[in-house]
Amino acid sequence: MSIEQVLPSLEGLKVILPPDIPSDYGRDESGAARMPEAVVEATSAAEVSKLLGACAAAGVAVTPRGAGTGQAGGCVPVNGGVVLSLAKLNGILEVDEAARTMRVQPGALLQDVKAEAERHGLRYPPDPGEKTATIGGNAATDAGGPGALKYGTTSDYVLDAEIVLASGEIVRLKDRPEYAGVIGGEGTLGVVTELTLRLEEPAGSDAILLLPFADGESCAAAAGRIIAEGYAPAMAEYLDTALVEYSGSVTGNAVFPVELDGERVAATLMLTLEGADEDAVMEQMETLAELAEELECLDILVGDTPTMKREFMAAYEAFHSSVEGAKSSCEANVSVPAQRVWEYMEYARGVGEELGVKPMFCAHLGSGGVHAYAVSEQARSEYAPQSEAFVKALYAESVRLGGEAAGEYGVGCTKQEYVAAERRERYAALKAELDPAGILNPGKAVR
Ligand SMILES: Cc1cc2nc3c(=O)[nH]c(=O)nc-3n(C[C@H](O)[C@H](O)[C@H](O)COP(=O)(O)OP(=O)(O)OC[C@H]3O[C@@H](n4cnc5c(N)ncnc54)[C@H](O)[C@@H]3O)c2cc1C
């Protein structure tokens, strides 16, 4: 059946049809694009259920969408059909301070979830980069980010969820744990219409430390040593000086060190230390200073005031937008075993040299997430052949090293060929059980 035959069953729902569909509904930040035949902007689980029931019966594809910030084409309707926008189902329903939980609808933005937790003296730790992503999109991609080292990923904070299955049936995860795969299922196994999130007490005090190194390999190795010595940094980020410089040239202020006492910094380790109070953080900083000498870092720069911490985080968060603003750019976001991050970056440099692509890196040391970026002044069409070859080589290498091309950001439609065969099989069995008609986000397979 076609979409026209489904439309009469959607009475009462907000349906947008061509030519009125805004072009955003056909793309995300990956560059993948295809316009849907209809968009439904849902405002309740009942509406989602009505839509899915009708589409399952008619065999019409439905692609859930949050804010469309994904980088893997997850919300792009590659097989056409309906885009189901959850953006307007965005209420924060309840914060239970005593139980430290928040009940929230999927379209609420990450920044609003975090701010609401803070208003109640609590915190929602996951912080996967893009604050204007929806919490539903975070849950569907099991988003991690720099804090994953200490705090885990979004699924670690999902205590319960309301899920609409492809059939239109509405279930609670708490009652039906067999549907846990919907969290991280990239909208292919069910639609999340409500989440109960676990919140935490905030750390009493924290500080951001910058440890610049004259050679990148020592920087990459330092985090492992620091963690092995018993420190539990909330973040341990590898900041490539090439990326620091590039981003600084865009924003007007590099913030992170590029040169110290005439010596070029190759990379900086950015660490966040937390403790019960200022004394506890100070104590860690003092002992770390001794270790830092052994690790041969060039200096330790401390950000312990709110202004400095904000400045460091703003400079860090500007990396991505600076790259995106270039005339041409590409990026590969993967995960590799934590001890192989340096080896991976060396590979990327080598393959970049062969292809005429100059990579710059930011990596979540400790958890193995690597973001490789490259920019060019060439026109997009001219740069595309070598940048695409570069990104493909990097995805393949992440798998070869025992990591995942999907690592962070999901599989979507751009990383399909890098899903391991056994995962594909496991996923196919789950898909057949939860969505036998294959209407939910077809064209995507999941990690
Ligand atoms: C600057 C930047 C930095 C980032 N850094 C990180 C990082 O460090 N680590 C990391 O893990 N990620 C990172 N990301 C990726 C980020 O986590 C995703 O972009 C975000 O989670 C997607 O949310 P969204 O609302 O935009 O979802 P969309 O892009 O709209 O959708 C993403 C996927 O989720 C599905 N989906 C959306 N809502 C629902 C729902 N309610 N029910 C079922 N399925 C749904 C869609 O079908 C799609 O498959 C970064 C992104 C950006 C732009």
Which residue minimizes the CA distance to atom 27 of ligand 1?
A: 137
How far apart CA 239 and CA 246 sit, in angstroms, is 12
For residue 137, report the distance from its CA to the centre of ligand 1, in Å. 4
- The parts of the chain modelled with pLDDT lower than 70 are 1, 447
Q: Is 161 helix (H, G, I), strand (E, B) or coil?
A: strand
Contact 357, 374 (CB under 8 A): yes
For residue 62, report the distance from its CA to the centre of ligand 1, in Å. 17
State which of 141, 179, 235, 243 you would mutate to test the pocket of ligand 1, scoring each by most atoms of that ligand within 8 A of its C-beta. 141
The minimum-distance atom of ligand 1 relative to the CA of 139 is 21
The minimum-distance atom of ligand 1 relative to the CA of 364 is 8
Of 132, 192, 302, 319, the residue nearest 244 (C-alpha): 319
384 and 333 within one domain: yes
For 97, the token pair is 């301070």
H, E, C per residue of 209-274: EEEEECCHHHHHHHHHHHHHCCCCCCEEEEEEHHHHHHHHHHHCCCCCCCEECCEECCEEEEEEEE
For residue 108, report the distance from its CA to the centre of ligand 1, in Å. 13
CATH of the domain at 109: 3.30.465.10
CA torsion through residues 391, 154, 228, 362, sign: positive
Is residue 57 one of the residues assigned to a domain? no
* pLDDT for 257: 96
* pLDDT for 447: 66
* pLDDT for 409: 82
228 and 321 within one domain: yes
How far apart CA 132 and CA 139 sit, in angstroms, is 14
Burial of 54 (0-12, 13-18, 19+ CB in 10 A): buried
For residue 109, report the distance from its CA to the centre of ligand 1, in Å. 11
212 and 333 within one domain: yes
For residue 357, report the distance from its CA to the centre of ligand 1, in Å. 27
User: Where do runs of H (alpha helix) occur along 96-159?
Assistant: 110-119, 135-141, 148-151
Looking at 143, 177, 198, the residue that finishes a domain is 198
| Those residues with Cβ within 8 angstroms of residue 284's Cβ, 6 or more apart along the chain or in another chain | 231, 273, 275
For residue 280, report the distance from its CA to the centre of ligand 1, in Å. 35
Residue type, 230: G
191 and 160 within one domain: yes
383 and 314 within one domain: yes
Does the pTM surpass 0.85? The reply is: yes
236 and 351 within one domain: yes
Of 395, 383, 384, the residue nearest 347 (C-alpha): 395
State which of 49, 62, 75 you would mutate to test the pocket of ligand 1, scoring each by most atoms of that ligand within 8 A of its C-beta. 75
Looking at 154, 182, 198, the residue that finishes a domain is 198
Q: Which domain holds residue 180?
A: 92-198
| Number of domains observed in the structure of the chain | 2
Which residue minimizes the CA distance to atom 5 of ligand 1?
A: 129
Which residue minimizes the CA distance to atom 52 of ligand 1?
A: 130
The conformation of residue 194, written as its DSSP 8-state character, comes to E
137 and 269 within one domain: no
Give the count of alpha carbons within 13 A of 447, CB side only.
25
Radius of gyration of the CA atoms of the chain, in A: 22
For residue 9, report the distance from its CA to the centre of ligand 1, in Å. 30
How far apart CA 55 and CA 317 sit, in angstroms, is 40
Ligand 1 pocket by Cβ (under 6 Å): 28-29, 63-71, 74-75, 86, 106, 128-130, 133-134, 136-138, 140-141, 143-145, 186-187, 191-192, 320, 408-409, 441
